[in-house]
Amino acid sequence: MTSTSNSLDYSKLYTIREPWATRPFRLTYDDPWPNWTAEQSVRIAHGVETIPCPIQFRVYQGGQATDFLWTQSVWLTCVSQRTVDLLLKEKISGWSTYLVEVFDRKGDFLPGYHGFAVTGPTYDLDRSRSTLIDKPAPVPGGKGYQVYRGLYFDESHWDGSDMFWIDRAGEAVTERVYQLFKRHKISNVKFTPLNEDERRPEYPR
């Protein structure tokens, strides 16, 4: 169903991001095939490009396998088989997977991981509804800065997908996904309600 009014509860929509914990594995990769471009990683993350072979990732940091494995790319993320099974069982909409191979620091294969793509719509960012606020300097003698509080988007074509994109801001999910992941303790992913999201104007993503 498409919404034509500003009826969404932004306290029940969430960004999903890396929590920057130190224990979980973090991954790196080399260009998966010749003539690789950064734009391809964007299309893969949106589920609109078919890859010719698995993307190979290797652990370069951390010591713990978790449900979400984040990478040096802001676009490419891996998820566990447990996460995929849960999304399928609960009929969550707006996502797909792609082929990956994950290896630990010794070069041993880590089974049970998939590349994670969000295939839901991309909605235009609406900064006019955010509040620009001043934040104190993070260290004594430092310089204060400003952030936009609240992440809003054009709802005129809202289709109800459980996972979707906000242009220049990243992936977002519904309350249904948040509660599902919380209930099943899906690890190494951070949720922030959209109405509480804060980010600097120069760093929208």
Q: What is the DSSP string of 83-96?
A: HHHHHHHTT--SEE
- Domain containing 60 equals 10-196
Helix (H, G, I), strand (E, B) or coil at 43: helix
Specify whether the CB–CB gap between 10 and 150 falls below 8 A: yes
Specify whether the CB–CB gap between 115 and 100 falls below 8 A: yes
52 occurs within a structural domain: yes
Q: What percent of the chain has pLDDT over 90?
A: 85
162 occurs within a structural domain: yes
Give CA–CA dist 40/204, Å, rounded. 21
The predicted model scores a pTM of 0.91
3 occurs within a structural domain: no
Q: What is the mean pLDDT of the chain?
A: 94
203 occurs within a structural domain: no
State yes or no: pLDDT of 54 exceeds 90: yes
5 occurs within a structural domain: no
186 occurs within a structural domain: yes
Q: What is the pLDDT of residues 86-115, one digit of tens each?
A: 999 999 999 999 999 999 999 999 999 999
Spatial CA neighbour of 120 closest among 48, 205, 39, 12: 48
Averaged over 165-178, what is the pLDDT? 97
Q: What is the pLDDT of residue 46?
A: 98
Give CA–CA dist 75/53, Å, rounded. 18
Q: What is the pLDDT of residue 34?
A: 77
41 occurs within a structural domain: yes
38 occurs within a structural domain: yes
Q: What is the pLDDT of residue 30?
A: 86
For residues 193 and 52, which has the higher predicted lDDT (pLDDT)? 193
pLDDT band with cut points at 50, 70 and 90 for residue 25 = very high
Residue-wise burial string across 22-42, b where 16 or more C-beta atoms lie within 10 A, e elsewhere: eebbbbebeebeeeeeeebbe
Choose the weakest-confidence range: 4-13, 50-59, 157-166, 189-198. Answer: 4-13
Question: How many domains does the chain contain in total?
Answer: 1
